[in-house]
Structure 1
């Protein structure tokens, strides 16, 4: 059986047969192209490891956001430097670092701190914020600009408000699941609220939460037990971030 020939042999044969040709069927990939593809592959692999860590170590009903660049630096792993030295980046060491940093209680605390930050930002809370209380609810409001849907009188959250509202809902879902309000947490985590098409002042009801949708804001009416638990959650996991917003 004939042995396979290296690509440069085919290139040489093609040039010998057609020396005047510009376009070639056989090409040798430039060294810089190979290095770039290898670097992109390794970068992609690091992103996959971070994604898997976020899924594996996130608390029930919540999410865990991990910054790949920051964690590579913390693990003292430089992909470009390793490849230029002719070595493979130590991804086993990187995964071990992710496990040490985010598994167990450590990762859950990071996730709940992120959730509290999303809630604080979503409601625009500051240390001096006054919380409205009624006989039946604790009321918080979030800015949510909306726009008319195409060929309809219904409205939906505007593009410029979608991410902040998605972060707020995800933060509330994590809080509810952590605080023992499993049904509320599950329904909020299911998603779809940000894409919901609504009429002005429409009310959407969840266990222990009524949500009233206005053109430029969403009004959250929490039952007293959920509202008090949310206050404790923010005090435990969001106190530092809340204090940093004193200038707002």
Structure 2
């Protein structure tokens, strides 16, 4: 099915080339060639341009297929991170090599690889491992990190720097920190969904926290989680039930990544 799209594109290129030739012929008939003025409005596309167009189409098609795999197979509340080039290599799909050999890259085999790798329980686990990594990195956790536990909450700090909003007394996360915040929020949303905290997961997913404009020490209250926003950090105060579940989540899905952070 997907490989056939490449053949359809090649057929379209062939038809387009024939159409260009017809236009060139019609122009030549209308304006007989003059050696003193050889300029023509119409031209036939070069072999290089045609080959490059086909290659670009195949690259974009692979990206579209990866996007579809992300949409279909991501765990609830989370988002799979799938790299086009890595998975093409894992599936032994060589776009350039196939095209140079005059063949269509086997995108049906590529989709079968994506489905086999990321669908079902296997894909769910990959997504949750990726989510745990985002949480660990977002909070800067290491094996020796001490988690602050109070009578009312489990507290974790994320180093998210902020800057003033233009012509406003409010602040917002810096460009660099907003990337950290986005990953952390996405990881926490996946955790919350997996742990059964559906309301919290929905709030994290749809709350637009990354773009939120706040005043220093402002508190954003969610279901089982308060976030206090300072100039140089966001402090996450998890209800004990949520915090304990997060600890178990990291132990189950993030243990390997957490151990490796000792090497950094």
Q: Does TM, scored on the shorter chain, surpass 0.5?
A: yes
Q: Residue 93 of structure 2: which of 77, 88, 103 is its match?
A: 77
Native 8 Å contact 1:11 1:27 kept in 2:
no
How many residues in Structure 1 have an aligned counterpart in Structure 2?
Answer: 246
Native 8 Å contact 1:11 1:28 kept in 2:
no
Name the Cα RMSD after superposition: 1.7
1:60 Cα deviation from its structure 2 partner: 1.1
Native 8 Å contact 2:129 2:254 kept in 1:
yes
| Match status 1:115 vs 2:131 | yes
| Match status 1:104 vs 2:120 | yes
For residues 18 and 241 of structure 1, do their structure 2 counterparts lie closer, same or farther at Cα, with a shift above 3 Å needed?
Answer: same
Deviates more, 1:123-132 or 1:85-94: 85-94
Within 2, Cα distance between the matches of 1:33 and 1:14? 27
Within 2, Cα distance between the matches of 1:84 and 1:12? 34
Within 2, Cα distance between the matches of 1:82 and 1:19? 42
Runs in 1 of length 4+ with deviation above 4 angstroms? Answer: 10-15
Within 2, Cα distance between the matches of 1:44 and 1:236? 36
TM-score, structure 2 normalization: 0.89
Within 2, Cα distance between the matches of 1:132 and 1:31? 65
TM-score, structure 1 normalization: 0.95
| Match status 1:163 vs 2:182 | no
Q: Residue 220 of structure 1: which of 236, 249, 263 is its match?
A: 236
Native 8 Å contact 1:183 1:207 kept in 2:
yes
| Match status 1:65 vs 2:64 | no
Q: Deviations over 1:11-61 (max 9, x none)?
A: 654774333335421101111011001000010000000000011001111
Q: Structure 2 stretches of 5 or more lacking a match?
A: 1-18
